[in-house]
A and B are shown apart, each in its own frame.
Chain A
Amino acid sequence: MRAAGDLVARVQMARGMRIAEAKAYVAEKLSVSVSELTDPVIMTEVRQDLQIGQIMPLPGCAKGIEAKFRLSEVLELDINCVNRFKDRTAI
């Protein structure tokens, strides 16, 4: 969560990708290099810009399920609880 570990984990979980492939997938979707994925300074900015959740939740930034809606779009992944939220709220 300090950098991009949660995002890489999501790709492993959703697509069954191994670590190198999962990192490359996330890096491409975020338009960063693979080596930048573990830099907490760069990733905080990227996460803030994309509104995909950050470890220091500033006022006004996407939090919790809001951020996961964005994340589902950015990573092009189905997120179970996001789909459930849409279903429950008739979005």
Chain B
Amino acid sequence: MATILTRYGDGTMLTMSEKELMQDLEAGTQDAAERGNIPALSKEELAHLFDIFSLPYNFVSVEPGNEVVLTYDAGTLKIRRVGVNVDRIQALQIYEKIMGADTMELCHVDYSFKPIKPIVTMEQPILEQALLSTHVPLFYGAMPNLGTYTQPDGPFPNPSELMPMGDIEGARASYDATVEEAVKDIVYAARAMHASGADGINLDTVGAAGEADFKASLMAADILKKEFPEICIELGMAGEFILGMHGEMEWEGIRLAGMYPHEQVKLAEKAGVTIFGPVVNTNTSESSPWNLSRAITFMKACCDVATIPIHVNMGMGVGAVTVNDHPPVDVVSRASKAMVEICRLDGL
């Protein structure tokens, strides 16, 4: 019986027997099916995943013709994070001409809409100049990041301090107030960047602060789409389900807490979002086969119900990619191949 060389979710190496591999694949899909109340993967799909993990190659890929497009979040921020000291327009050109990127995103290092608002007039000329010298579609992106609206970083009482004191109503009122302010900031910055020629607006890491974060993003997308019907809005999630920090928050009469990707995408569509980027978190103590089978189950359910393009988040710690600053290509390529071949998604 062959030995499978793979990894844990934290990136450390792991060897498995074929029997153990299939057991983990079955357990992963079962976990997602139970949590999301969605169908588990079929025997054929599990067999396909088994084949992908059994391939002896370090890097694997899809058949020619099945390639998908890639969108990137925070590209001009990440190139500085790795210590490449170039200007942001140069960073866009490096991604486009040296890495062959399909799309790019201009962003600020303080990657939230709240701090962007007062400096938006400094950001607009950078975007306008970048658009003259690049070819690929150019997003401007930032995070809703509602955590920046509560004390000590913002004006509103911190719900995480109010809750332990038993002030549930006060905490909920604070969440409601942050939504109102965040929507104003997102719409203000997005309007400016659209006026400067952006090909799209990326709302990234949506839901990081719970359902208020998601609600603010949906509301902002709805306003922008009504004002500019031609605008492209990409909405990329922070986690696999909407954290219920408020518990009773709704948008369009639908309770947001606890929603999984196949439910989130329907609200994104309703808000006028053009491209949806769902997330499945990686469990560091489980194997890559377990994580990938689980992630594929959630993503397949999302792609099956979606009517808009789906670009699954496939980065460090999400989409079955290891929680490691330097994700190993064996895991990244297997996860990408499986996502494209089983989920029939539109991009990564």
Contact = CB atoms under 8 A, between A and B. Distances in A.
B134 A64 contact: yes
Given A5-B70, A68-B135, A78 B308 contact: no
A18 B309 contact: yes
A14 B97 CA distance: 23
Nearest to B273: A16
A84 B198 CA distance: 10
Contacts of A16: 274, 308-309
A9 interface: yes
A48 interface: no
B68 A19 contact: yes
Contacts of B137: 6, 9-10, 13
Given A10-B137, A19-B346, 14 more contacts: A1-B96, A6-B103, A6-B135, A6-B136, A9-B347, A12-B347, A13-B103, A18-B308, A34-B65, A38-B67, A53-B135, A64-B132, A65-B131, A85-B132
A55 B197 contact: no
Contact of A35 (B65, B133, B135): B65
A17 B200 CA distance: 15
Interface residues of A, number: 35
A22 B103 CA distance: 15
B275 A13 contact: yes
A11 to B, nearest CB: 10
A67 interface: yes
Closest CB pairs A-B (n = 3): A81-B197, A5-B102, A53-B135
A2 B99 CA distance: 9
A49 to B, nearest CB: 16
Interface of A: 1-3, 5-6, 8-10, 12-14, 16-19, 22, 34-35, 38-39, 53, 55, 57, 63-65, 67-68, 71, 78-81, 84-85
Nearest to B131: A81
B204 to A, nearest CB: 16
Contact of A55 (B100, B103, B230, B306): B100
A71 B134 CA distance: 13
A19 B132 contact: no
Contacts, number: 106
B194 to A, nearest CB: 7
B69 A1 contact: no
Interface of B (DSSP majority class): loop
B232 interface: yes
Interface string B331-348: 000000000000011110
Contacts of A34: 65
Given A16-B274, A19-B69, A79-B199, A64 B102 contact: no
A84 B103 CA distance: 20
B309 A65 contact: no
Interface string B65-98: 1011111000000000000000000000000110
B330 to A, nearest CB: 23
A88 B5 CA distance: 58
A18 B101 contact: no
B131 A9 contact: no
B102 A13 contact: no
B199 A10 contact: yes
B230 A14 contact: yes
B64 interface: yes
A78 B231 CA distance: 11
Contacts of B196: 84
Interface in B116-135: 128, 131-135
B150 to A, nearest CB: 33
A10 B128 CA distance: 18
Contacts of A78: 230
Contact of B135 (A1, A12, A13): A1
A12 B199 contact: no
Nearest to A15: B274
